[in-house]
Amino acid sequence: MKALTFNEFGGPDVLQYQDVPDPVLQKNEILVRMKAIGLNFADVYRRKGNYHLKGTPPYIAGYEGAGFVERIGEGVNGVMPGDRVAFADVPYANAELVAVPEDHLIPLPDDISFETASSLLLQGLTAQYLTRDSYPVKPGTLLVVHAAAGGVGQLLIQISKALGGTVIGLTSSEAKKEAALSAGADHVFLYDVDWMNKVKEVSPENKGADVIYDSVGSTLMDSFEAVRIGGTAVFYGMAGGDPLPVDPRMLMDTSKTLTGGDLWNVITSHSERVSRSHQLFDMIRSGSVKIPETTSFKLEDGKEAHRFLESRKSTGKLLLIP
C-alpha cells in the first residue's frame, strides 16, 4: 500500500509518499480502506518529534479518517466487509489501509459522507467535551475561543451557540474574522489589538469572560487576563508554543481556575465513543452544526498540506484523500 511517511523529525520536507507493507490484522481488528483522512496539528507535532511515536521508521502519522471495511480479523462481530466506518483515534491513518481495533470503530450512517466524518470527528468530539466536560456551557455563559476560524474553533462556536452561550472569537486576520463571524460568533477580535481589554469591554460590568478555551498555549497568561474573577482557562493545545508556568498564588488571589483538556481522558469506552459521535451526527442533521469549509489534498501531496496547515492561512479542516 501507499502511505505518507517520514524517517526523521523535521519540517514538511521530511515527508515521503512511498510503498510500505500492508497492515497485519491482529485479533479484534478491522482493515479499513481509507476514503478520507483528517489532518490535524497533532500530525505536525508528531512529524516534528514533539509527540511520542511508537515503533521505528518509517513513521506514519494520522489518527482520523473514514472508509470501507476491507477485511475483518479474528474475533470481530457485527462488522462486515463493505460497511462504512470511521474513527478518530487510531494511529497510522495516513495510508491507503489502516488496521482499526474493533472498539475504536464508529459505524458511519449513509447520510454522513466520508469527508464529513473525517472533518468532524476528532475536532467535533474535542469541541463537544470542552463545552460539556471541561467547562459546561449553559445559557448566558460568556466564552472566548482562541483560533476561532480553525476547525475546532468554528465547531466550538457552533456548539456553544446551540447551548445558549455568547461567543467571543479570537483570530489573526480579517479573513479569519469573517469565517468566525459566519460560524456564529457574537464578537471577533484580532490578536494584534489589545484583545484582553476588548473582551472585558463587551462583558457584563467589564469583568471579563466566564471561560476561555486556549489552544494556542503561548497565550495562556493573556487568557487569564481576559476572564473574570472566579473564571476558568481551559488549556487544550499549544499551536503557538508552550505556555509559561502558572503561578498558583495568582490562581489563589483571583479565584481563577486552570484546567487541562485531553479527549482521550474523556472517551474511554466504545459505547462513549459511538454515542458522542452520533450526537454530533444528529447536530449535523438538525443544522445546528455545519462543517466548516474544508480543503482537500491528495495523500501524495502531504508535504503541501502540512505547509498549508502551518502557514496559518487555512480556515476549517484539511483533508488528505488517498
Which tens digits make up the pLDDT trace of 128-163?
999 999 999 999 999 999 999 988 999 999 999 999
Query: At which residue does the C-alpha cell 473582551 appear?
Result: 199
Query: What type of residue sits at position 134?
Result: S
Q: Are residues 6 and 112 in the same domain?
A: yes
**What total of structural domains would you count in the chain?**
2
* Dihedral angle sign, alpha carbons of residues 130, 136, 137, 140: negative
Domain containing 173 equals 139-260
Q: Is the pLDDT of residue 315 over 90?
A: no
Name the grid cell of 205.
Answer: 460590568
Tell me the per-residue pLDDT of 239-259, one tens digit each, with 9 for 90 and over.
888 899 999 999 999 999 999
- Rounded CA-CA distance 243/245 in Å is 6
The pLDDT of residue 72 is 96
Query: How confident is the model over 41-46, as a mean pLDDT?
Result: 88
Q: Are residues 218 and 276 in the same domain?
A: no
Non-local (6+) Cβ contacts of 115 within 8 A are 36, 66, 294, 296, 319
**Within-domain flag for 127:** no
Count of positions (residues) in the chain: 322
167-185 as b/e, with b when 16 or more CB fall inside 10 Å? bbbbbbeeebbebbbebbb
Contact predicate 97/82, CB 8 Å: no
**Within-domain flag for 217:** yes
